[in-house]
Structure 1
Amino acid sequence: MLESWRWFGPEDPVTLAHARQAGATGVVTALHHIYDGRIWTPEDIAERMDLVKKAGMVWSVCESIPVNSAIKLRNGDSRRYIDAWKQCLANLGKAGIPVVCYNFMPVVDWTRTDLLFATAAGGFALRFDMEEFAAYDLFVLKRKNAEASYSADLIEKAEARLSMMSEEAILTLEHNIIAGLPGGEDTHTRETIRERIAAYDGLSSADMQANLIEFLREVVPVAEENGTKLAIHPDDPPFSLFGLPRVVSTAQDVRTILSAVPSAANGITLCAGSYGSRPENDVVAMAREFADHIHFVHLRNVTKEPDGSFIESEHLGGDVDMVKLITALRAEEKRRLETGRPDHVIPMRPDHGHLLVDDIGKKVNPGYSCIGRLKGLAELRGVTAAVDSLVA
């Protein structure tokens, strides 16, 4: 696998030099400063690519071209946004970017309730707490008909949890949920998120899935024509938030996506942590079933709790069997090499990482500090070397 590193551009406190020192040779980045639907010009792309090349690495994956809400809803200015998205994709392909990762999550991107959850070892992890999320949705945001999204037991626990929180803690929780995490498209206020959620009233999961498929029918041919591959990222977490439909959460969702627009360019980002956050998802089995269409891999791990909560664990320490997963991915790379596929090396990145050592207290993007990811990459590299030695 191509060891890659997510980089948020020149303002990222973790630099390209840091990534290279960690051993990465690929860079996963995007033009995060151009997020409002404008076209990424060849000049914009070349400027970013030049920075990566000067650091001695390659731009291995674009993550991500933002998918505007109008596209997900198929309303308003959707035509303008789709056309701009297609042009961005074409320009990336012509520049030689082999993979474009994107997501189709409505209103909120990847979501956590706690960005500094203390671990037993003394570091800090990201956490999604279902009681805290429900407490915010029900009693702070006061979303219309929110009670229908939760069991009576969870509502009672959420109310009790909120009663024990200070006003400062509630504001921190709100900021964590709606202010936007690294790579996300939007930052919300309490009022604007209510409005954005309400825009999806009446949109069913079937409607959302149909809108995704219509989008794919337009963009997959562009990817084919320009020599790049699409890799849809799963919902994170892979279940409904704020009562909104999420349609990239299960193995059946992936089957629907791949069968709706059959193409080698229509593929997935296998995010072990996202898919692994849902109990019925067997991530290793998914890697084997969808191997032919895996264009990008996020390797991270989670430890789940019965109510839907989870903590981002150490890379080798959670519920996903990382040894079996890497074994399956290496087997697919071997198969591709033997059949002459030019994309036989699958780009991967150590996704997220604990906040450790002297990164604690520094200004860093949540989940994207240097030392935690360096540790994760080293562990994953060791597993890969061990797997390769056993099958040699």
Structure 2
Amino acid sequence: MKMTFRWYGENDPVTLQKIRQIPKMSGIVSAIYDVPVGEVWGEDKIQALKEKANQNGLAFEVVESVPVHEDIKLGNQNAKKYIENYCENIRRLGRAGVKVICYNFMPVFDWLRSELERILPDGSNALAYDEKTVLSMNPLTSELSLPGWDESYTKEGLRELLKQYKTVDEEQLWRNLEIFLKAIIPVAEESGISMAIHPDDPPWGIFGLPRVITNEKNLERFLKLVDFKANGLTFCTGSLGASVENDLVAMIHKFGNRIHFAHLRNIKITGERCFEESAHPTECGSLDMYGIVEALQESGFDGYIRPDHGRMIWGETGRYGYGLYDRALGATYLTGLWEGIEKHANK
């Protein structure tokens, strides 16, 4: 297992110098953030990012993410061009030594929350999701800016994009995903890269848009679309765990040999399709973190892990969900949990 940490580049208030001080931290998870979605990343930019990490004693072997252009998800006339660009990015990242690319296939909106600073009983604050609040929102008129919204969209552009998706149901999205996978997975295999799709967050449809990477049945269908090891999963416990119907331990045992990357975090389910993010330890939320880590070990997982969304604690401010302190606590908790389970199993 290799412990990693998400880093958003030079503008991230959490610096590489701070990340390297977290015990057992092997590398960063990052991306090129100043290139428009769908365009090819410059090899000089990739190399510069790798060198910055290496200079701080950290590896750069996981990219999160190479975003999938909406035209690919829509399957329109521009899809072929953007798929070719995506394949070129895979080749370039492979030459730079990247081993895993995390990506998602969520239409329009990435991970979505209704609150950014819910105050928890201990005085910290965290991201939260309330279904009624989300259902009452209109993405075309709401002034609320949420983390999963692409701020580059104008209201006119967003309106047109949502209009185009009216013709895309779940089955059409599946077909477009299959076309994408059949193009990129052979390139990934040739480049020594494992592709790891991220589950939809939350794992159900929002604003009338289809979402398909949501549950055990759909993960199984996804893996069979292109049944090669390079076509794999980012197992995000917070995303999949938001649905009480998902048995995370059973899913890990079932799909373990296709899990290339794991986002490990806890959430506290507060109602039907309602949850708030919590500290990482099991007793702080609704997920069995011990059972999850144990299942990963039993499945032979030897890939990359990172602590995921953290609370804001000790007065810290910054990028919502991505402060230093709580994620660092999460990393040390997960590292200790991994070591303890491993040693117990080897007795």
**TM-score, normalised by the number of residues in structure 2:** 0.95
Structure 1, residues 122-155: CA drift from partner, whole Å, max 9, x if none? 0001001111111113xx747xxxxxxxxxxxxx
Equivalent position of 2:62 in the other structure:
61
Residue 225 of structure 1 aligns with which residue?
190
Q: Report the counterpart of residue 176 of structure 1 in structure 2.
A: 146
Does 2:310 correspond to 1:353? yes
- Structure-2 separation of matches of 1:189 and 1:283: 38
User: SS in structure 1 opposite 2:20?
Assistant: helix
CA contact (8 A) 2:94 2:193 kept: yes
Count of equivalent residues: 343
Q: Is the 8 A contact 1:301 1:319 kept in 2?
A: yes
Poorly superposed stretches of 4+, deviation over 6 Å: none
Partner Cα separation in structure 2 for residue 187 and residue 128 of structure 1: 23
Structure 1 gaps of 5+ residues are 143-169, 181-185, 334-343
Equivalent pair of 2:234/2:260 in contact (CA under 8 Å): yes
> In the alignment, what sits opposite 2:5?
5
- Percent identity among equivalent residues? 36
Corresponding residue to 2:226 among 251, 258, 261: 261
Distance change in 2, residues 1:177/1:194 (3 Å): farther
Distance of 1:254 and 1:135 partners within structure 2 = 30
* Higher Rg of the two aligned structures: 1
- From 363, 378, 381, the counterpart of 2:335: 381
Unmatched segments (≥5 aa) in structure 2: none
Judged with a 3 Å threshold, the aligned counterparts in structure 2 of structure 1 residues 177 and 307 are, in CA distance, closer, same or farther, namely: farther
Residues 285-306 of structure 1, C-alpha deviation per residue, up to 9 Å, x if partnerless?
1111000000000001112233
Give a deviation string over 1:136-176, Cα, whole Å, max 9, x none. Answer: 13xx747xxxxxxxxxxxxxxxxxxxxxxxxxxx74xx212
Distance 1:266 1:296 in 2: 12
Q: Alpha-carbon deviation of 1:348?
A: 0.3
SS in 2 for 1:3: strand
Question: Structure 1 length normalisation: TM-score?
Answer: 0.84
Residue 349 of structure 1 aligns to which amino acid in structure 2?
R
Q: Give the aligned partner of residue 276 of structure 2.
A: 311
Report the structure, 1 or 2, having the larger helix content. Answer: 1
* Contact 1:114 1:127 (8 Å CA) reproduced: yes
Query: SS of the residue aligned with 1:106?
Result: coil
**One-letter amino acid of the structure 2 residue matched with residue 208 of structure 1:** L
CA distance in 2 between partners of 1:201 and 1:381 (Å): 45
Q: 1:310 is paired with a residue of what secondary structure?
A: strand
| Structure 2 Cα separation of the partners of residues 275 and 282 of structure 1 | 9
What's the Cα RMSD here? 1.6
The Cα of 1:202 is off from its aligned counterpart by 2.1
**Change over 3 Å in CA distance of 1:238–1:383 after alignment to 2:** same
> Once the 2 structures are TM-superposed, how far is the Cα of residue 331 of structure 1 from its aligned partner?
2.0
Q: Secondary structure at the match of 1:79?
A: helix
Q: In the alignment, does 2:38 pair up with 1:71?
A: no
